[in-house]
Amino acid sequence: MRIAQLANFYGPRSGGLRTALHHLGAGYAERGHEVVLVVPGPAAADELLPTGVRRLTVAAPTLPGTGGYRAVDPWRVRRLLDDMAPDAIEVSDRLTLRGLGEWASRRAVPSVVISHERLDRLLGQFLLPGRAAVAVAEAANARMAAAYDTVVCTTGFARAEFDRIGARNVAQVPLGVDLTTFTPHRHDRGLRDDLGGDAEVLVVHCGRLSPEKHPERSVDTVAALRRDGVDARLVVAGDGPRRAAMARRATGLPVTFLGFVPDRSRLATLLASADVSIAPGPHETFGLSALEALASGTRVVVSASSALPEIVAGRSGAAAADDAGAFAAAVASLLEADAEAGRRAARDRAEEFGWPASVTSMLATLGGVRAAAA
């Protein structure tokens, strides 16, 4: 098949979305499919990635207040698709590119959209009160489900808002993790001492510092731990619009901001060298950075109101209510447990989420849609 992968909000620092697109595309190409990735950027470009994926970058303006994200005009994407004539499209954007389902339907091109976020949660946080947010989300989700052949959700949490409206064309396909790059063998005592200093506990927060992810809770968690007598230091790997506010919040606390870490090997070493990772986002539909921590043998404390309790199971971590006190108590509980057993449990859990399985499931979904269309 010639598969077109389409996304906005993709850039050098776009984290989980970029990682997922690259691993899925590489998997498709490895299995003999032609893959074209269309994304926004500062200037037009046409390049062949080392994975065999052709990446078309379309010049697009920066969106104010997003920390550097760009979004290309969907009409320009449609013209590219007209020239490309793909056998199937995979859309990783339910907002700015949502109309591509209609483009595919008119041309009898099989279409899949991956729902990377919970619309009802985001509307509820930023725009509308509870029930109104749900009503608007349900209407938008119904239109999107009708426009595409298949809606792919990565977890039961992500799927819930489509199940609520009775959508019948939903497939659940978990994402994966790079089990070779992220491994407990990268544990580096020297790096741990450099970053942790004299602190007894090194806690890491890895992810984009944006409002919907509530990154400030990690700072508040370390403050609560220290009030409870736990000698903890926090290292924050990531950047975003909340960084300045987090830095002010961390005044007087042992918190180190590394900024965005582009080197995946360096990031993997950081995760493997920490005692606990924190993933406080209450709306996460999968949480790839948390899974990377598990693959690195590091236990994770996650928001109980997100999808992450589906990922972090058993002794690999803990789920906590959405306040710093609960997160601090969960971290302390993990620290009291057998550390080596926890590391083994974290790695064992991550090994259930390899990328090859995700690629197989996505290709089965795309192939099934194409067969049905034929």
CATH architecture of the region 2-176+354-373: 3-Layer(aba) Sandwich (3.40)
Residue 65 has pLDDT above 90, yes or no: no
Greatest extent of the chain over all pairs of C-alpha atoms, in Å? 65
Q: What is the rounded average pLDDT for all residues in the chain?
A: 95
User: Of all residues in the chain, what percent are helix, strand and coil, respectively (each to 5)?
Assistant: 45, 20, 35
Rounded mean pLDDT of 39-61? 95
Same fold: 2-176+354-373 with 184-350 = yes
Q: Which two tokens stand for residue 168?
A: 């019948």
Q: Residue for token digits 């994966």?
A: 176
Residues in a beta bridge with 111 = 89
Q: What is the mean pLDDT of residues 126-141?
A: 93
Share of the chain above pLDDT 90, in %: 88
Kindly list the domain boundaries of the chain, sorted by start residue.
Answer: 2-176+354-373, 184-350
Predicted pLDDT at 52: 97
Residues 6+ apart with CB under 8 A from 147: 98, 99, 101, 102, 105, 111, 113
CATH number of 184-350: 3.40.50.2000
